[in-house]
C-alpha cells in the first residue's frame, strides 16, 4: 500500500523528503538535485528568487517543491490543454436502462420499505461509512469559513455540519434499535481542502464533534496541484511559494488512499460508502433506503438524482454515453436533446436525471482506485491567478485569465464501469436536495431557500403525523427527533404555532 500511495502522490502536495523540516535550510546538495529535476522539466524558473529567501522560507519552499513531480505536472497539463483527438463519431446519448434505475416518486412502498430495512441492517452491522466533501469555503456567502460552518438561519441556528452530524447520530440509533444492540458506528470521513482543514478541525473540536465520538470522525485533506500559466509554466504566488489549487472533487479518490482513510475503512470492516457534498442541507446522510437499494443491485457506484425542473435548467445529467454510464454537462447538450420527451410518458423529459453529487460506492470499488486513478482526465479551469513577475519580483494581479487550474471531477470514473455495476435512484427534490450556492437575497440556492426547505419539510412531517400547524414559517424538526419523518406519532392532535423548532427535551 505504501508503494501505491507514493505512485498516487506523484504530482500533489506531499511532505518533505527528509532534507528539510520546515525550519532547517536544506543542504546545497539536496537543493541542487531538486533544481536539476525542475530544470529538466523546463520549470527551473521556480528557483529564480530562492537565494533571496530566509532560512525558514527556503525550508518551506523546498518542502513544497519536493511534494511535486514537475515532469508529471507537465504531462497532465499537456494532456488537459491538448486532449487526444477522438475519432469524429456521433456521440450516442441514452437514459440509463430501467434495470439500473428506481424512483422514490413512483416505486411501491413495499420496495422502498424493503430497501430501508436492508439498509438499516447493513448500518446495524457496522458496514456503512460516510464521506463528506467539505473543501469549499463560503466565499459567495460572504464568509471565508468552511461552508459547513454556515448558519442558514434556522430557529436553532444549527450550522450545516451539526445538522449532518445529528442525522448520523439518529440513523445510528435507529439501526442499533433494529439490530438489538447498544451501539452502532457510522464513521464520518470529512474531506477538506488546504484553506478549510484547520478551521474545520477547530470547529469540530469547539463543538465537541457534535455529539459524535472523536475517534469516529476523521478529517483529511484533498491534494493540490500547481497553477500553470498559459505558456505552461508553474506560477509563483510569491518568491518562495508556488500558486496551488485543490485538485477538484475528483481528488477524493487519490485522497482516500493517501490519507489512510481506505486503510481505516478496511480495519473497521466497511463495505458500503455514502459520499455527498456539504452544501446540501436536506441530505439524508447514510440514507438506509439508498444503501439498501444500491447493495441489493450489487453495484460499484450508484447515484441519487432529482428530476430536472425543465429543459433549460443548467444541470449535469446522468445517462449513458456511447453505452457507458456518464455525466453530461448542460452546455454539452443541444436544444433538441434537452427538450426531448420520454417516449413512454410525454409529460416527462427523456433526459431528466439531474446530477446532485450524492453517491454510493462499494468498498471493493474504492479498493481498486490505484488501478484506475491515473487514467482519469484533468480538466482546465481558466482563471485570473496572481503571479510573481520573474523580472521585478512584484506580485501582479491580472485583469484577464492568465493561467489554468487543473481539476478532476468525481464522476470522471463512471465510464470505467460496466452498466450492470452502476445504478441511479431518483429522489424527491423537496425532500432531499437544497444546495447552498449563492449569497443571501439571491432568491435561488441561497440561505433563505435552504432554511425554507428544511422548515417546509418539517411542516409536512408534523402534519402527516396528525398535528395542526397554525401561522406561517414552517417547523424545524431536530434530526435527533426524526431522521425522515418517522417517530412523530406523539404529535397527533396537538397544535403547533409556526415558526417552531422541535428539539429533544
329 and 450 together in one domain: no
The top-scoring range by mean pLDDT among 7-11, 130-134, 403-407 is: 130-134
Say how far apart CA 175 and CA 483 lie, in whole Å.
12
CB proximity list for 288: less than 8 A, separation 6 or greater: 115, 116, 117, 118, 119, 120, 122, 123, 171, 174, 175
Average pLDDT score over residue span 79-107: 85
pLDDT at 21 over 70: no
Structural contact between residues 191 and 220, judged by C-beta atoms closer than 8 angstroms: yes
Of 225, 254, 226, nearest to 372 by C-alpha is 254
Check whether 494 has a pLDDT greater than 60: yes
d(CA 355, CA 353): 6
Task: Pick the last residue of a domain from 81, 102, 135.
Answer: 81
Full DSSP string of 446-471? SHHHHHHHHHHHHHHHHHHTT-EEES
Residue 40 lies in a domain: yes
Identify the pLDDT of residue 88. Answer: 60
Helix (H) or strand (E) holding 499: none
Same domain, 430 and 384: yes
The beta-carbon contacts of 323-326 under 8 Å, at least 24 apart in sequence, are 323/92, 323/419, 324/414, 324/415, 324/417, 324/419, 325/96, 325/100, 325/301, 325/414, 325/415, 325/417, 325/419, 325/422, 326/411, 326/414, 326/415
- The percentage of the chain sitting over the pLDDT mark of 70, rounded to a whole number, equals 94
Relative to beta strand 301-307, strand 422-427 is parallel
Whether residue 182 is contained in a domain is answered as yes
Is residue 74, in this structure, part of any structural domain at all? yes
Smallest Cα–Cα separation from 423: which of 99, 61, 5, 22?
99
Looking at residues 476-492, what average pLDDT do you find? Answer: 98
Each residue of 1-18: pLDDT tens digit?
554 454 444 445 443 333
With a CB cutoff of 8 Å and minimum separation 6, the contacts of 418 are none
Domain with 127 in it: what CATH number?
A: 3.90.550.10
- Looking at the fold, whether 324 and 466 belong to one and the same domain comes out as no
Structure-block grid coordinates of residue 341 = 420527451
Query: Which range marks the domain in which residue 297 is found?
Result: 93-437
161 & 283 share domain:
yes
Are 422 and 467 part of one and the same domain? no
Predicted pLDDT at 89: 67
Question: What is the pLDDT, as a whole number, of residue 60?
Answer: 96
Is 222 in a helix, a strand, or coil?
coil
Considering only residues 14 and 423, tell me which one the structure prediction assigns the higher pLDDT: 423
pLDDT (mean) for 113-120: 98
Measured in degrees and rounded to the nearest 5, phi and psi for residue 318 equal -90, 125
78-95 burial, b for 16+ CB within 10 Å, e for fewer? eebeeeeeeeeeeeebeb
Task: Let me know if residue 32 belongs to a domain.
Answer: yes
Kindly state whether residue 88 falls inside one of the protein's structural domains: no
Average pLDDT, the chain: 93
Report pLDDT for 343. 94
CA-CA-CA-CA torsion sign (282, 287, 207, 462): positive
Looking at the chain, the whole-number percentage of residues with pLDDT higher than 90 is 86
127 and 50 together in one domain: no
User: Considering the domain boundaries, does residue 86 fall inside one?
Assistant: no
Q: Is residue 97 part of a domain?
A: yes
Residues 303, 358 contacting (CB under 8 angstroms): yes
**Amino acid 211: pLDDT:** 98
pLDDT score at 505: 76
Same-domain pairing of 243 and 183? yes
pLDDT tens, residue by residue, 178-236: 999 999 999 999 999 988 999 999 999 999 999 999 999 999 999 999 999 988 999 99
- Distance separating alpha carbons of residues 295 and 362, to the nearest angstrom: 8
Decide if pLDDT at 243 tops 50.
Answer: yes
Its pTM surpasses 0.85: yes
Helix/strand/coil for 432:
helix
Angle between helices 28-40 and 55-66 (to 10 degrees): 50
Strand spans (E) along 2-160 = 93-94, 101-103, 128-133
Q: Are strands 317-321 and 324-328 parallel, antiparallel or unpaired?
A: antiparallel
Same domain, 361 and 501: no
CA nearest neighbour of 180 among 236, 119, 125: 125
Reported as a pLDDT band with limits 50, 70 and 90, residue 267 is very high
Which grid cell is 156? 436553532
Among the candidates 414, 437, 460, a domain finishes at 437
Pair 433, 453 in one domain: no
In this structure, is residue 283 part of a structural domain? yes
Closest CA to 477 of 155, 147, 168, 150: 155
Q: What is the pLDDT of residues 43-56, one digit of tens each?
A: 999 999 999 999 99
Neighbours of 157 (CB within 10 A): 10
| 318-342 pLDDT per residue, tens | 999 999 999 999 888 999 999 999 9
How far apart CA 423 and CA 297 sit, in angstroms, is 8
Q: Is 410 exposed, middle or buried (0-12, 13-18, 19+ CB in 10 A)?
A: buried
What pLDDT is recorded for position 15? 39
For residues 170 and 186, membership in a common domain is answered with yes
CA angle 197, 230, 62 (to 5 degrees): 45
All three cell numbers of 187? 464513521
Q: Into how many domains does the chain fold?
A: 3
pLDDT in tens, 145-180: 999 999 999 999 999 999 999 999 999 999 999 999
Q: Domain check: are 380 and 292 in the same one?
A: yes
The last residue of one of the domains, among 416, 437, 458, is 437
Same domain, 372 and 323: yes
- Cβ atoms of 157 and 457 within 8 Å: the answer is no
Other beta carbons within 10 Å of 52: 11
C-alpha 188/C-alpha 216 separation (Å) is 6
Amino acid at each position: 500500500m505504501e508503494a501505491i500511495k507514493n505512485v498516487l502522490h506523484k504530482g500533489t502536495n506531499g511532505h518533505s523528503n527528509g532534507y528539510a523540516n520546515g525550519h532547517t535550510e536544506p543542504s546545497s546538495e539536496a537543493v541542487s538535485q531538486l533544481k536539476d529535476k525542475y530544470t529538466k522539466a523546463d520549470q527551473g524558473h521556480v528557483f529564480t528568487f530562492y537565494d533571496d529567501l530566509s532560512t525558514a522560507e527556503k525550508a518551506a519552499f523546498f518542502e513544497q517543491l519536493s511534494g511535486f513531480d514537475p515532469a508529471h505536472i507537465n504531462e497532465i497539463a499537456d494532456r488537459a490543454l491538448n486532449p487526444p483527438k477522438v475519432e469524429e463519431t456521433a456521440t450516442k446519448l441514452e437514459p440509463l436502462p430501467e434495470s439500473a434505475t428506481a424512483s422514490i416518486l413512483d416505486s411501491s412502498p413495499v420496495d422502498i420499505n424493503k430497501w430501508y430495512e436492508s439498509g438499516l441492517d447493513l448500518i446495524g452491522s457496522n458496514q456503512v461509512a460516510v464521506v463528506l466533501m467539505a473543501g469549499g469555503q463560503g466565499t459567495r456567502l460572504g464568509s471565508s469559513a468552511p461552508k459547513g460552518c454556515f448558519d442558514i438561519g434556522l430557529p436553532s441556528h444549527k450550522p450545516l455540519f451539526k445538522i449532518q452530524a445529528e442525522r448520523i447520530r439518529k440513523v445510528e440509533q435507529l439501526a442499533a434499535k433494529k439490530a438489538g444492540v447498544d451501539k452502532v458506528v457510522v464513521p464520518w470521513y470529512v474531506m477538506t481542502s488546504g484553506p478549510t482543514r484547520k478551521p474545520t478541525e477547530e470547529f469540530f473540536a469547539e463543538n465537541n464533534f457534535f455529539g459524535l465520538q472523536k475517534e469516529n470522525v476523521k478529517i483529511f485533506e484533498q491534494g493540490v496541484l500547481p497553477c500553470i500559466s498559459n505558456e505552461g509554466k508553474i506560477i509563483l504566488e510569491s518568491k518562495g511559494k508556488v500558486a496551488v489549487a485543490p485538485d477538484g472533487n475528483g481528488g477524493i479518490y487519490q485522497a482516500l488512499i493517501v490519507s489512510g482513510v481506505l486503510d481505516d475503512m478496511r480495519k473497521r470492516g466497511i463495505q458500503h460508502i455514502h459520499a455527498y457534498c456539504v452544501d446540501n442541507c436536506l441530505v439524508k446522510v447514510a440514507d438506509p433506503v439508498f444503501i439498501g437499494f444500491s447493495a441489493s443491485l450489487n453495484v460499484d457506484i450508484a447515484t441519487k438524482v432529482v428530476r430536472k425542473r425543465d429543459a433549460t435548467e443548467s444541470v449535469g445529467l446522468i445517462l449513458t454515453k456511447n453505452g457507458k454510464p456518464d455525466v453530461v454537462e448542460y452546455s454539452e447538450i443541444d436544444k433538441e436533446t434537452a427538450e426531448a420527451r420520454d417516449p413512454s410518458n410525454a409529460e416527462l423529459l427523456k433526459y431528466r436525471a439531474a446530477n446532485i453529487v450524492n453517491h454510493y460506492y462499494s468498498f471493493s470499488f474504492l479498493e481498486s482506485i490505484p488501478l484506475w486513478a491515473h487514467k482519469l482526465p484533468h480538466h482546465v479551469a481558466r482563471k485570473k491567478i496572481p503571479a510573481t513577475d520573474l523580472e521585478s519580483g512584484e506580485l501582479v494581479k491580472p485583469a484577464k485569465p492568465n493561467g489554468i487550474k487543473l481539476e478532476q471531477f468525481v464522476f470522471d470514473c463512471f465510464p470505467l464501469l460496466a452498466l450492470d455495476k452502476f445504478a441511479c435512484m431518483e429522489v424527491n427534490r423537496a425532500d432531499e436536495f437544497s444546495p447552498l450556492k449563492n449569497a443571501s437575497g439571491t432568491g435561488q440556492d441561497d440561505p433563505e431557500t435552504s432554511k425554507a426547505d428544511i422548515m417546509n419539510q418539517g411542516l409536512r412531517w408534523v402534519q402527516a403525523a396528525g398535528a395542526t400547524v397554525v401561522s406561517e414559517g414552517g417547523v424545524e424538526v431536530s434530526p435527533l427527533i426524526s431522521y425522515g419523518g418517522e417517530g412523530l406519532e406523539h404529535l397527533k392532535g396537538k397544535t403547533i404555532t409556526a415558526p417552531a423548532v422541535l428539539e429533544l427535551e
